[in-house]
Structure 1
Amino acid sequence: MRGGSGTLPQRRTFVSTVAVTRDVIYRTRGRGHGEVFRLVSPSGLGEQLKPFVFLDSFGGVMSEFAAAGGMHPHSGIGTVTVFTRGDVHFDDPDAGSGYIGYGGVEWMRAGAGVWHGKELSSGRSERIHGFQLWLALPAELELAPVDSQYIEASDMHQVGPAHVIVGTHGGVTSPIRAPDGVNYLLVTLAPGQLWNYTPPAGHTIGWLALSRGSLSGSAKASNGELLVFSEDDGVIALQGGSEGATFVLGSAIPHPHDLHLGYYSVHATAEGLVTGERNIAELKEQLFSLGNRQRVSGSTPIYRG
């Protein structure tokens, strides 16, 4: 080396401690009217967010919902219903009775086929708001036996501002018997509160939907919006707005199958859809032959055959 006989100075390596955050790549208010909006559908945004294939934001008077809603079928999916305001009553001979409010959940794995729609009735509050989510089941569960759970808030786990509705977060696991590879959280942030969600490895799907308030910072959003985050392994960094924020947040390993769609069904295989819809038709004949099954509370139990 010219100018001296010494050795080159050793390079120093610096490791950044700043977490990489995910960008918001899409936002929507869905479509609907009043207090009911379709934010994700299987033939639309659900193709990009699968296994999250359907999401409705709904609000109103529960007694009116109960009166207007009818029994209807599903197969091939898991449904997750949470409430961000108010509560509802459940009454099912297989699951007992109680109330589902903020932090509680109704889970149903439709699997091989089920009829439901009136298992919930008015609770202690007149008005409610909530979200119903559909999860596309993996091929090995798309025709599994029906499985239902009604879990009150006191029996669910909370980590910081997040109730762990499905999956594992912060070292605790939800009691919901959902497939692996999916997290679904119900979160409330105070005004200005900072919160980082670090998805598990491989959870490249990430989104959230606001029920109340707003978010500020890089993921700025207002009530009613659904945000989709970039598909990487970064942190989802959030901050409550001036009124705070209540929202649901999902992350997952991408669903590896094409979606096979029926009217009320979503399956991982074409053969599964054919079988699920055949089972639904057979269950309909059995169900309607039973006549009125309404219980004193006003609910009608899920019909599993």
Structure 2
Amino acid sequence: MSIPNVTQSSQNTNPVSQSFAGRAVIHRTRGRGHGEVVRLISPSDLGEHLKPFVFLDSFGGVMSEFAAAGGMHPHSGIGTVTVFTRGDVQFDDPEAGQGYIGYGGVEWMRAGSGVWHGKELSSGRSERIHGFQLWLALPADLELSEVQSQYFEAAEMRQAGPAYVIVGTYDGVTSPVNAPPGVNYLLVTLAPGQHWNYEPPVGHTVGWLALSKGSLSGPAYASNGELLIFSEDDGVISLEGGPDGATFVLGSAIPHPHDLHLGYYSVHATAEGLVKGEQNIQKLREKLFSLGDRQRKSGSTPIYRG
């Protein structure tokens, strides 16, 4: 997929710190959506260029309204990563216990061979929330793997400088999330004027960030709500917090080597995997809906793995 080149000289209205070297911003977008829910990456557009990062939603609002409106739905062939930049939510899962996910924490789900979910998180201690849901395309050897769910509160996660290491390994810090190798996903807050260099591992030629709050200055300038895509090399990504600071997620990875095979809720590395995953989803659906109401006292409904 070809992404139009967006040069800093033609786009940059903020000349601060032009001397910082680093990977160029080649594309920027605000996505599309309604209200506080915005689709920034889809498997059929930017996901083809950024794979294994194939989907990203920025979402915000009142968690109780999200929980009431959302329904159970299936996935296969992907891993989902959910983080929160403001507020928190509660998780309540018979296999994982109870707790709260706020800034620095994460929900990880490896859908693999097929899963139904959508109501495993419920209102926490804050009324309003903002977060990101990311999908990772799984490699061929994991696209039909056993389903796995993990929930980590912020206290269980580790930081490398201003970054929580949500997925992968960075600056000697390894995330407890059992995601495939070759992928880093960080949650970062920079103070006003704070300069930070992200030095991706060798081979991480895919690189992007999405801004949740504040702004970035310098060559990689950005305002709240923007997604930036960086040039395809494994050089440094040089960033600076704007006048009001910046909170964002950043991803880098070794490119996913497979074509994407797309279903309605599924993304697979092989055509055969997609067929099998969707068959499994249909079988799970029949079992799930025969169980009736599975809601727990907290308001959540556990992930159904079969």
Scaled to the shorter chain, the TM-score interval is over 0.9
SS of the equivalent of 1:42 reads coil
RMSD: 0.9
Query: How far apart are residue 33 of structure 1 and its match?
Result: 1.6
2:74 is matched by which residue type in structure 1?
P
Aligned length in residues: 288
Aligned to 1:78: 79
Aligned to 1:160: 161
Aligned to 2:298: 297
Work out the CA distance in 1 between the residues paired with 2:171 and 2:122: 33
Which of the two has higher C-alpha Rg? Answer: 1
Work out the CA distance in 2 between the residues paired with 1:288 and 1:232: 47
Matched, 1:55 2:56: yes
Q: Which stretches of structure 1, 4 residues or more, deviate above 6 A after TM superposition?
A: none
Work out the CA distance in 2 between the residues paired with 1:231 and 1:36: 28
Matched, 1:139 2:129: no
Aligned to 1:15: none
- Equivalent residues of 1:19, 1:234 under 8 A apart: no
- Equivalent residues of 2:76, 2:278 under 8 A apart: yes
Matched, 1:280 2:281: yes
- Equivalent residues of 1:203, 1:251 under 8 A apart: yes
SS of the equivalent of 1:219 reads coil
Deviations 1:211-250 (A, max 9, x none): 0000000000000000000001210000000000000000
Deviations 1:280-303 (A, max 9, x none): 000000000000000000000000
Aligned to 1:10: none
Aligned to 1:6: none
SS of the equivalent of 2:71 reads coil
Trace 1:14-163 onto structure 2 (pairs within 5 A).
21-163=22-164
Query: How far apart are residue 112 of structure 1 and its match?
Result: 0.1
- Equivalent residues of 2:199, 2:235 under 8 A apart: yes
Work out the CA distance in 2 between the residues paired with 1:219 and 1:35: 24
2:199 is matched by which residue type in structure 1?
T
Q: TM-score with structure 1 length normalisation? A: 0.94
Work out the CA distance in 1 between the residues paired with 2:303 and 2:226: 32
Work out the CA distance in 2 between the residues paired with 1:19 and 1:303: 48
Query: How far apart are residue 159 of structure 1 and its match?
Result: 1.0
1:227 is matched by which residue type in structure 2?
L
Deviations 1:73-130 (A, max 9, x none): 0000000000000000000000000000000000000000000000000000000000
User: Residues 146 and 66 (structure 1 numbering): CA distance in 2 closer, same or farther, change over 3 Å?
Assistant: same
- Equivalent residues of 2:138, 2:268 under 8 A apart: yes
Deviations 1:184-229 (A, max 9, x none): 0000000000000000000000000000000000000000000000
- Equivalent residues of 1:20, 1:234 under 8 A apart: no
Work out the CA distance in 2 between the residues paired with 1:233 and 1:122: 39
Matched, 1:256 2:287: no
- Equivalent residues of 2:216, 2:223 under 8 A apart: yes
Q: TM-score with structure 2 length normalisation? A: 0.93
Query: How far apart are residue 20 of structure 1 and its match?
Result: 5.2
Give identity over the alignment, percent.
83
Query: How far apart are residue 19 of structure 1 and its match?
Result: 8.8
Work out the CA distance in 2 between the residues paired with 1:224 and 1:208: 10
SS of the equivalent of 1:218 reads coil
1:71 is matched by which residue type in structure 2?
M
Work out the CA distance in 2 between the residues paired with 1:32 and 1:76: 25
Work out the CA distance in 1 between the residues paired with 2:268 and 2:149: 19
1:266 is matched by which residue type in structure 2?
V
Deviations 1:47-87 (A, max 9, x none): 00000000000000000000000000000000000000000
Work out the CA distance in 1 between the residues paired with 2:114 and 2:138: 13
- Equivalent residues of 1:58, 1:131 under 8 A apart: yes
Work out the CA distance in 2 between the residues paired with 1:196 and 1:251: 13
- Equivalent residues of 1:164, 1:174 under 8 A apart: yes
1:141 is matched by which residue type in structure 2?
L
SS of the equivalent of 1:97 reads strand
- Equivalent residues of 2:21, 2:238 under 8 A apart: no
